[in-house]
Structure 1
């Protein structure tokens, strides 16, 4: 009986500590002399859902969403193909585009929040053919054209010159129109890549 009791306590102890050691695992991998690089980029991103040539379109919406500019676009899915430019004006030199999807996730009709996935691809200049991927929560209603309002978003990958990119993007509105949904944003990106 005493042996069974000892065995039971040993089993309980082993089962109790197994999850503690099983939750964390890491392995260091040397990348054959590759050196991690840091790149900083600054450009402007223009999102125009209105007008004759929109850069963002509604793909799907829930029955509760009335129209594209509904005060409650909860669960609406949008596709985007937005230009990236050197300057804050939409007519500035185009250096690439941001293509992706975002879905409206806030049930609060007064605060639009989305989760955004976008591939920021460069089509000219030093980084022509390269891109980085952004996947993060995006609260555009927090933006007002002000240098004090900045949104931080996560960089989760890249290709070309930005292979295995990670980092962050800081977005600040340079202009926005609540009636049409049009917005231009300054984007400052810090990338760590190989």
Structure 2
């Protein structure tokens, strides 16, 4: 498992290095052609979003899977050292059959030795309406046993370029046996438009 983590780290680091050495004089996409001019940010606005996050860790088609754990994780009451990769549906309502409005993709890991608390690094990609193709980046501590949590929005793309804000998370449903959960999100994001 340790070798796998080292290989994953080296792979990610090599991608970062390769991208940093690309010729910056060649535009990579239409939005980069006039990069300095396109920074005329316009008026700051606040957008409110509401959706449900489905974290399914059991069954034949989980949306989050364990990719690593420390040798002592199974002895820890908080599963300290567990790391999971996620590709979670974001839906309009709490029902699993509700309309999908996006996906939450990224990592979360157990980062506290005394209380169950995750560190979350996720990108919320929206797939419908005016937000289609836009993303919000969330990075922060998620004390999952608290009824209500605050997670920082640290950036975004598309409509949410240069975004900042907060995502308020509240556990809507949790199955103690399977570990599956549905989390309600109320997001407040400041961006330019």
Same fold (TM over 0.5): yes
Two-structure CA RMSD over aligned residues (Å): 1.5
Aligned-pair distance for 1:163? 0.4
Aligned-pair distance for 1:179? 2.0
Runs of 4+ aligned structure 1 residues displaced above 6 Å come to: none
The count of corresponding residues between Structure 1 and Structure 2 is 154
Q: Of residues 63, 67, 72 in structure 2, which corresponds to 1:64?
A: 72
For 1:104 and 1:84, how far apart are their aligned partners in 2? 22
For 1:83 and 1:153, how far apart are their aligned partners in 2? 18
- 2:78–2:110: 8 Å Cα contact kept in structure 1? no
Aligned to 2:156: 158
Cα deviations by residue, 1:81-136 (Å, 9 ceiling, x for unpaired): 1000000111101111000101211112xx31111010000112221000100001
5+ long unaligned stretches in structure 1: 1-30, 143-148
5+ long unaligned stretches in structure 2: 1-38
Q: Of residues 103, 107, 112 in structure 2, which corresponds to 1:101?
A: 107
SS in 2 for 1:107: coil
Aligned to 1:16: none
Q: TM-score, normalised by structure 2?
A: 0.76
SS in 2 for 1:87: coil
Q: TM-score, normalised by structure 1?
A: 0.75
Aligned to 2:46: 38
For 2:106 and 2:156, how far apart are their aligned partners in 1? 14
SS in 1 for 2:130: coil
Bigger CA radius of gyration: 1
For 2:97 and 2:77, how far apart are their aligned partners in 1? 30
For 2:155 and 2:41, how far apart are their aligned partners in 1? 21
Aligned-pair distance for 1:33? 6.3
Aligned to 1:117: 121
For 1:141 and 1:56, how far apart are their aligned partners in 2? 18
Q: 1:33 to 1:42 in 2, by over 3 A?
A: closer
